[in-house]
Chain A
Amino acid sequence: MNKIEFTINGKKVATQVEGRTLLVNLIRDELKLTGTHVGCDTSQCGCCTIHLDGKSVKSCAMLAAQADGANIVTIEGMADGDKLHPVQQAFTECHGLQCGFCTPGMIMTAASILKDHPQPTEEQIVKGLEGNLCRCTGYINIIKSVHRAAELMKA
């Protein structure tokens, strides 16, 4: 067992984890933040995407022990109270989600695309979403949502 401490959605957490525990399992099973999803076992789908020290990472591709000292934000930490994050708002406005299973990961990835490229081109968005799969939307409205979020964030 490893003792770790980190911050998640602004709260400090201290816990013990098995060496092999994946970060996503710690988040979902122990911290009960089930908005972060598991869609695959080969790090391909991006459903598990979170922000770790300001960068988007796939939480299924990291051990929990590696998160020691990190500052983590999950989908549950994106809204500011009742005020949605602009990316969240854009996703509902543009119908960027259907079943919603890929959505937390998409939103986390989109937010980080916009951090790197506040006014992203179509190519930058597509490239940024490369590691996120969606089976419902055909991505058309997801890409639209990212453009819209850029607009909302500029305003």
Chain B
Amino acid sequence: MTMLNPDFAEELKQFSEDSALACFNCGTCAAICPLIDSHFPRSMIRYVQIGAKERILEAATELWKCLHCGLCTQTCPREANPGEIILGLKRLVLDHWRKS
């Protein structure tokens, strides 16, 4: 799979694990996440894959519901490290807020 927005991929590397492309959208992480929000964190990983920075910023506060409990990372069959990607997105969004 290739990223639709290579600039965003580069930007994200400063803040996050570079593992989103390993995700094949199986939904295991969303099924096990204690937040029981239908698509979290998979939806965010998907936004990263397609470089949808605006969508991430629109839903940014949702990222802080993540408990950083690591269960998604533990169970991801592709080692896409979803928990650490969410943490990286928090860093990216905070940086964006601080600069704006």
**Do chains A and B stick together as partners?**
no
Residues of A within 8 A of B (CB): none
Residues of B within 8 A of A (CB): none
